[in-house]
Structure 1
Amino acid sequence: METAGRIIVALDHDNREDARRVVDTLGAECRFYKVGLELLTTVGPDVVRELVARGNDVFLDLKLFEIPHSVAGAVRAAGRLGVSMVTVHGMGGAGIMAAAVDAARDFPRLRVLALTVVTSMTDADLADVGVAGPTGGQVLRLARLAERAGCHGVIASAGEVAALRASLPDDALIVTPGVTVPGDAPGDHARSGTPAAAFAAGASHVVVGRAVTRAADPVAALRRLRSH
């Protein structure tokens, strides 16, 4: 897979106009976008339909954490929108993840990814919610649970990719958010890394947001990311 197809640009905006401006500006430079809770809640599912209609792949980052019936319904709704990836919380357990996978079977292009530990969390944050041990151990634990539940892959930070690639099947997707170019601030991500480091460790995709979307020249910023 070309590197260009492995970089997902996060449309973390609170209005359709800014999101559309980024997509128009990047043009053929990017064909894979992440839509998260902020944009989806503000604009609604039409923003996803528009991206798909323009020939883009969409990563719908819902981080689903609900009873299995509700999760399954949300996954089916995502499939009907034509998205390529949807996320479910690994902390929800095997039942929730299996329900998501089962609901996705009617949509051959839809991949269910399990969120392991969000990249803003540290060991201390996990301890606050009663999870003992290092972050990396929890990531691996949830990734193995996701594999047994049938998930197509996981979401994890760059520093955990190598261990995940050694533990998961060769065809498992490992999507890494929070990537930065050397010298850039990590923002909200306590566990970040560069695209090159993530890909070298075995990531299938990386997600980049403000480093591209808030840049003075988004195209140049995206090309810079590809070179790092």
Structure 2
Amino acid sequence: MNKPIIALDFSSKQQVEEFLSRFNEPLFVKVGMELFYQEGPDLVRTIKAMGHDIFLDLKLHDIPNTVESAMRGLAKLGVDLTNVHAAGGVEMMEAAKRGLSGSETKLIAVTQLTSTSEEQMHSDQLIAASLHDSVLHYAKKAKQAGLDGVVCSVLEAAAISEACGESFMRVTPGIRPADAAADDQKRIATPQEARLKGSTHIVVGRAITKSENPAASYGQIKNEWSGLL
């Protein structure tokens, strides 16, 4: 079972280092836009030097040539996982994959954000399909483009596995214990639900980063995700 991915919901390198110092094991962490745009590539190198795996969550979405060039730069950082928006299309996703050529970085595509409801998708994106069908369509396009998987909610994980294969990654954000607040997420699940419904990786943020004892909270979530609880 893959380790839970901890979303580093911080705004500075100092906060990140203080948080990571509370753990005595290698972690899989997510560096998002807020953190990367303030601290830059040096933070990624620092975290890698500490022995942790990194999901660099920048959600690139631009013309194919620009995305390919950007990915060529990100490949030099040695991150383990990064992503694009599937809405950029097959050509853009293929270009992103080319940009990572020669590196071991895996590439996944964001389908629909877990903060997006079906009503919002219809009104804001003018997509007439159901949210489930939209996510599945984007997953199939990512598979066609040669990507390693997608970001989706737990609700679509099983269908994506069936359509794209068991080895196709289903990275699911919005994961938190049953007694935790939903915050700004709409399509959420517990670690146990994610395991039972076909996620290959889970992303957990505030349930760990805002905990009084992050290491203990991480351990509980990891055990639930692994089926030990």
The TM-score bracket by the shorter chain reads: over 0.9
* Paired amino acid for 2:8: L
1:114 aligned residue: 109
1:153 aligned residue: 149
Distance 1:187 1:227 in 2: 23
2:98 aligned residue: 102
Q: What are the Cα deviations for residues 25-61 of structure 1, in whole angstroms up to 9, with x where unaligned?
A: 1230x42110000000111111101111111111000
- Is the CA contact 1:179–1:194 (under 8 Å) kept in the aligned structure 2? yes
Runs (4 or more) in structure 1 with deviation over 4 Å come to: none
**Structure 2: stretches of 5+ with no match in the other structure:** 225-229
Match of 1:219 among 215, 222, 225: 215
1:144 aligned residue: 140
Distance 1:79 1:25 in 2: 29
2:227 aligned residue: none
**Structure 1: stretches of 5+ with no match in the other structure:** none
1:181 aligned residue: 177
- Is the CA contact 1:6–1:204 (under 8 Å) kept in the aligned structure 2? no
**What TM-score results when the alignment is normalised by the length of structure 2?**
0.94
Deviation at 1:170, TM superposition (A): 2.3
Distance 2:140 2:117 in 1: 20
1:132 aligned residue: 128
Percent pairwise identity: 34
Match of 1:78 among 74, 81, 99: 74
Deviation at 1:133, TM superposition (A): 2.2
* Paired amino acid for 1:20: E
- Is the CA contact 1:165–1:201 (under 8 Å) kept in the aligned structure 2? no
Q: What are the Cα deviations for residues 138-188 of structure 1, in whole angstroms up to 9, with x where unaligned?
A: 000000000001111000011111111111122111111110101111111
SS in 1 for 2:93: helix
Distance 1:69 1:21 in 2: 38
Distance 2:44 2:179 in 1: 33
1:22 aligned residue: 19
Question: Any residues of structure 2 matched to 1:2-21 within 5 Å, and which?
Answer: 2=1, 5-21=2-18
Distance 2:154 2:162 in 1: 14
**What TM-score results when the alignment is normalised by the length of structure 1?**
0.94
Deviation at 1:227, TM superposition (A): 3.3
Deviation at 1:200, TM superposition (A): 1.8
Distance 2:73 2:188 in 1: 31
- Is the CA contact 1:176–1:205 (under 8 Å) kept in the aligned structure 2? yes
SS in 1 for 2:196: helix
When structure 1 is superposed on structure 2, of 138-147 and 190-199 the one drifting more is 190-199
RMSD of the alignment, in Å?
A: 1.1
SS in 2 for 1:75: helix
Distance 1:65 1:33 in 2: 22
